[in-house]
């Protein structure tokens, strides 16, 4: 490998090719491992701008990175990784708006709001570790997004560094609808008369060209773009007053055919969450006989539904669910019910034995009327390919996470993964869904994008990329694939998994 060009003298932050520094940013919480040439750790926004300009001048690809919790590989890359963790200034403004730099942890931002009786509803489960910049990058969502929507609905303003190293400030209330490059780009996209979006409640796949064309707001295009169009350095987020009261109800799911009706019930009664824990998750987690579950009719799993608001609203919501149920407004009991998901994870890891959870199709979203078909179809595909998996997640939004358990000692495990993924991609497309509701496309799903969106949408995505990053230095291979890019590039190649893995000659 050629020596890295020297960074510019005005760059105060550190640029390092030290093996330990590189190793620390080569992977994430997902299954993709991709060592970069170097890692840059800017001290401030001026450093970010200098780093972007340097990479542009030297033809180096640049991958922005926050907390490293992204699943499909959007936060790893072979060039220079831009570690934004030092950008951690956080304030709560008098109107309840959070002003957070990209490296601020999501949980810290929420905690600051809670000190003043407010909160940030669109938090993912990774909030203690993920960054605000990463949330914006993937248009992150979480359990409470069922009622409150993903992070794009809460993003009031952005400070960005463009691919040319220039800084810009964007405000939702003063969108530069006619200013370059936004006005011309919007006109060109509108002229394409794209087909309507897939009929799903949330989506973080592709670029949000429809929201951009409809609103003229560049923020809508940049949120969810995974650092491929600009580097986000600062975010302004709306917050919500904390609810007067909360309540949680746990109900059994006798058959997956009941999921759409249950989601409708949760919606109609003003629930904040509608979370599904599938039967296999309960079995592998040793929770079938747990007192929280045993008295429920959970042959297909359980639903965890939360309400927030006035005491009367919460009481009415809990009462809307038929017996048998477990319902509570008591804080310790609610925490114990939510703990079902957290209790399952370590137990599943123990039960998996030599298998490993390889999240290669972990974020599909379908119309919630299609949930029964989705669950049955995915389970059938897994069975055909000899894979076990747990299924859980945001049933209210039609966004279920599928975590297959893969036997990495099987020399043909990559073939099994590829065949399963190919089958599920076509299946999800047929149901009118996409491959990501909240995690983004990353590197894993980029080569699969056209099979979900079709040629016209992908051409529009490329128009956006070419307009905002004409030299292609910002996170190439994420969202849109590079020539010859494979969906399994870097899959399970981290040292913790490679010691278990075997690859057949045909896949070597």
DSSP conformation letters of 431-498: TT-BS-SSS--TTTSGGGHHHHH-HHHHHHHHHHHHHH-TT--BSTTSSSPPTT--TTTTBT-SHHHH
- DSSP letter at 7? P
Q: Which of 272-281, 307-316, 465-474, 497-506 has the lowest mean pLDDT?
A: 497-506
What is the structure's pLDDT at 178? 79
What is the structure's pLDDT at 499? 75
Please give the Cα distance from 408 to 411 (Å, whole number). Answer: 7
Query: Over the stretch 15-29, which tens digit does the pLDDT of each residue have?
Result: 999 999 999 999 988
Q: With the C-alpha atoms ordered 292, 295, 300, 304, is the resulting torsion angle positive or negative?
A: negative
Cα end-to-end span (Å), the chain: 22
Phi-psi region of 165 (alpha: psi -120 to 50; beta: other; left: phi over 0): left
What is the structure's pLDDT at 365? 98
The whole-model pTM stands at 0.95
Q: Which residues pair with 391 in a beta bridge?
A: 402
Helix, strand or coil, per DSSP, at residue 52: helix
* Size of the chain, expressed as the number of residues it contains: 508
DSSP conformation letters of 204-223: -SS--HHHHHHH--HHHHHT
Helix (H) or strand (E) holding 169: strand 167-171
Query: Over the stretch 49-76, which tens digit does the pLDDT of each residue have?
Result: 999 999 999 999 999 999 999 999 999 9
Instruction: Indicate the pLDDT class of residue 508, thresholds 50, 70 and 90.
Output: very low
Structural tokens at position 448: 């699969």
Please give the Cα distance from 417 to 483 (Å, whole number). Answer: 22
pLDDT at 217 over 50: yes
What is the structure's pLDDT at 176? 81
What is the structure's pLDDT at 490? 96
Mean local confidence (pLDDT), 402-431:
95
364 within 8 A of 377, measured Cβ to Cβ? no
What is the structure's pLDDT at 503? 55
What domains are there in the chain, each with its CATH number?
243-351 (3.30.70.2190)
């Amino acid at each position: 490998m050629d020596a890295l060009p020297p960074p510019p003298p005005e760059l105060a932050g550190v640029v390092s090719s030290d093996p330990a520094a590189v190793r620390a940013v080569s992977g994430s919480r997902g299954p993709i491992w991709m060592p970069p040439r170097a890692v840059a750790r800017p001290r401030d926004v001026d450093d970010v701008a200098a780093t972007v300009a340097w990479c542009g001048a030297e033809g180096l690809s640049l991958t922005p990175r926050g907390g490293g919790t992204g699943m499909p590989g959007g936060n790893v890359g072979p060039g220079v990784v831009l570690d934004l963790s030092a950008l951690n200034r956080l304030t709560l403004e008098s109107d309840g708006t959070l002003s957070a730099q990209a490296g601020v942890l999501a949980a810290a931002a929420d905690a600051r709001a809670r000190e003043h009786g407010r909160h940030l509803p669109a938090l993912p489960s990774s909030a203690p570790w993920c960054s605000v910049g990463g949330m914006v990058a993937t248009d992150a969502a979480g359990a409470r997004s069922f009622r409150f929507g993903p992070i794009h609905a809460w993003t009031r303003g952005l400070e960005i560094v463009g691919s040319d190293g220039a800084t810009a400030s964007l405000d939702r209330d003063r969108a530069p609808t006619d200013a370059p490059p936004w006005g011309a780009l919007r006109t060109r996209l509108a002229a394409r008369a794209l087909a309507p979006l897939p009929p799903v409640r949330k989506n973080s796949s592709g670029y949000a060209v429809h929201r951009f064309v409809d609103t003229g707001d560049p923020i809508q295009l940049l949120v969810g773009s995974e650092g491929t169009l600009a580097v986000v350095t600062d975010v302004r987020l709306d917050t919500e007053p904390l609810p007067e009261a909360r309540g949680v109800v746990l109900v059994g799911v006798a058959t997956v055919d009941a999921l759409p009706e249950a989601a409708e019930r949760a919606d109609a009664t003003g629930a904040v969450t509608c979370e599904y824990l599938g039967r296999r998750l309960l079995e592998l987690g040793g929770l079938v006989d747990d007192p929280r579950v045993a008295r429920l009719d959970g042959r297909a799993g359980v639903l965890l539904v939360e309400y927030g608001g006035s005491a009367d609203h919460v009481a009415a919501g809990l009462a809307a669910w038929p017996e048998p149920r477990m319902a509570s407004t008591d804080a310790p009991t609610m925490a114990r019910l939510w703990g079902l998901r957290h209790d399952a994870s370590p137990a599943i890891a123990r039960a998996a034995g030599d298998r490993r959870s390889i999240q290669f199709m972990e974020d599909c979203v379908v119309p919630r009327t299609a949930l029964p078909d989705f669950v049955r179809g995915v389970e059938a595909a897994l069975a055909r390919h000899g894979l076990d998996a747990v299924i859980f997640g945001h049933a209210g939004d039609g966004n279920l996470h599928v975590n297959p358990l893969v036997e990495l000692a099987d020399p043909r495990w990559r073939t099994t993964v590829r065949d399963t993924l190919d089958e599920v991609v076509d299946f999800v497309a047929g149901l009118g869904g996409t491959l990501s509701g909240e995690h983004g496309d990353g590197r894993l799903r980029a080569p699969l994008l056209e099979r979900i969106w079709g040629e016209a949408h992908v051409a529009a995505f490329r128009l956006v990329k070419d307009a905002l990053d004409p030299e292609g230095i910002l996170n190439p291979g994420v969202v849109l694939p590079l020539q010859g890019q494979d969906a399994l590039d870097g899959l399970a190649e981290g040292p913790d998994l490679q010691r278990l893995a075997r690859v057949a000659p045909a896949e070597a």
